[in-house]
Amino acid sequence: MKSLKELEEIKQKTLDSVNLRKDRSGGTRVVVGMATCGIAAGARPVLLAFLEEVKKRNLGDVTVSQTGCIGVCRLEPMVEVYRPGEEKVTYVKMTADKVKRVVAEHIVNGRPVTEFTIGAAE
Amino acid sequence: MKIFIRESPKEGRLWVSVRDNGRGMDENEAAKAADPFYTTRITRKVGLGIPLFKASAEATDGSFEIRSKKGEGTEIAAMFHTSHIDCLPLGKIEDSIAALIFMNPEMDIEYIHECCSNRFKLDTREIKKVLGDVSISLPEVVDWIKEYVRNGLDELNGGVGNEIS
């Protein structure tokens, strides 16, 4: 059972590693399209899957955020990944399973998962 | 913002209400809010949130109501007949709540879920009080919220799961 005490522990752990966390601005940004089209297509589990992977792998320099409609509703859920100094990569028709690969191969190892990108879908 | 859900398996009914203390609407605006082609936003000409909510309640032969007062806030409320074949499952409500809080960290959100005579409550003001300077959008915190809600609802339903059927 989850308790407020556990929340207190999360807080303490975060404060202990605050230096690691503070400098997220220079890191990778993940943006999930969370408009009605995205949510209807399943963007919510995708967003939560990114958060879970970031937590699991303790990726201190990765920021996950949301935006509105990215513009190609038929390819939702869409995700944009911005790595510092690199071109933006847009992933389409995302699922929670695909998120694991994107995090492992692209965000951690720097190799975009080409087969999931908008370029491959078009 | 206050989200209130009440399930009554005995009566086969489900009530959902969402209330805010935002800027509110006058009668004219409130009457148009359920029209998908009415919206105050400027990015595009449609607004689907309220119309879809209304349509899903009415599809179960349920009801929908909107109450608003300019300058005070708005409440939308709906009743669903859960045994109706067109009643949508509530789904992973813990995901909805966790994502909502993650997406609106500055907003105070209260979520109350009642079933039979049991009640579960989550208040982001209490969470923020514990967290102090730590952000509520932190992946670890969002995960905690998700699990906390899931556990709370499991207890509410005596561990039956979240599908209403």
Confidence bin at A1 (pLDDT 50/70/90): low
pLDDT at A18: 61
**Of the candidates B58, B87, B116, which is a domain's last residue?**
B87
Q: Which residue segment(s) compose the domain that A84 sits in?
A: 23-121
Q: pLDDT by residue (tens digit) across B101-148?
A: 999 999 999 999 999 889 999 999 999 999 988 889 988 999 999 999
**Of the candidates B37, B60, B87, which is a domain's last residue?**
B87
Residues of A in contact with B98 (CB under 8 A): 48
Question: Is a pLDDT exceeding 60 seen at residue B50?
Answer: yes
Structure tokens at A53: 């992977």
Residues of B in contact with A8 (CB under 8 A): 130
Question: Is a pLDDT exceeding 70 seen at residue A35?
Answer: yes
* Beta partners for residue B81, in sequence order: B13
Are both B1 and B73 inside the same structural domain? Answer: yes
Q: Which residue segment(s) compose the domain that B97 sits in?
A: 89-165
Is residue A7 domain-resident? no
Are both B7 and B80 inside the same structural domain? Answer: yes
ipTM for the predicted complex = 0.81
Confidence bin at A83 (pLDDT 50/70/90): very high
If you average pLDDT over every residue of chain B, what do you get? 90
Are both B35 and B116 inside the same structural domain? Answer: no
If you average pLDDT over every residue of chain A, what do you get? 88
CATH number, position B16: 3.30.565.10
Cα–Cα distances (Å) from B33 to A104, A107, B1, B21, B75, in that order, read: 44, 41, 18, 17, 12
pLDDT at A22: 52
- Share above pLDDT 90 across residues of chain B, in percent, rounded to a whole number: 69
Polymer length in residues for chain B? 165
Are both B103 and B135 inside the same structural domain? Answer: yes
Tally the domains of chain B. 2
Are both B77 and B121 inside the same structural domain? Answer: no
Are both B102 and B41 inside the same structural domain? Answer: no
**Of the candidates B59, B87, B115, which is a domain's last residue?**
B87
Are both B133 and B108 inside the same structural domain? Answer: yes
Are both B76 and B95 inside the same structural domain? Answer: no
Q: How far apart are CA A39 and CA B84, in angstroms?
A: 24
Are both B144 and B158 inside the same structural domain? Answer: yes
Put simply, the answer to whether B95 touches A45 (Cβ < 8 Å) is: yes
pLDDT at B165: 43
Q: Is the dihedral of CA B7, B8, B11, B15 positive or negative?
A: negative
Q: How far is B93 from chain A (nearest CA, A)?
A: 11
Angle (nearest 5°) at CA B84 between B79 and B87: 65
CATH number, position A54: 3.40.30.10
- Mark out chain A residues that contact chain B at CB-CB < 8 A: 1-2, 4, 6-8, 10-11, 13-15, 34, 36, 44-45, 47-48, 51-52, 54-55, 64, 66, 68-69
Tally the domains of chain A. 1
Is residue A6 domain-resident? no
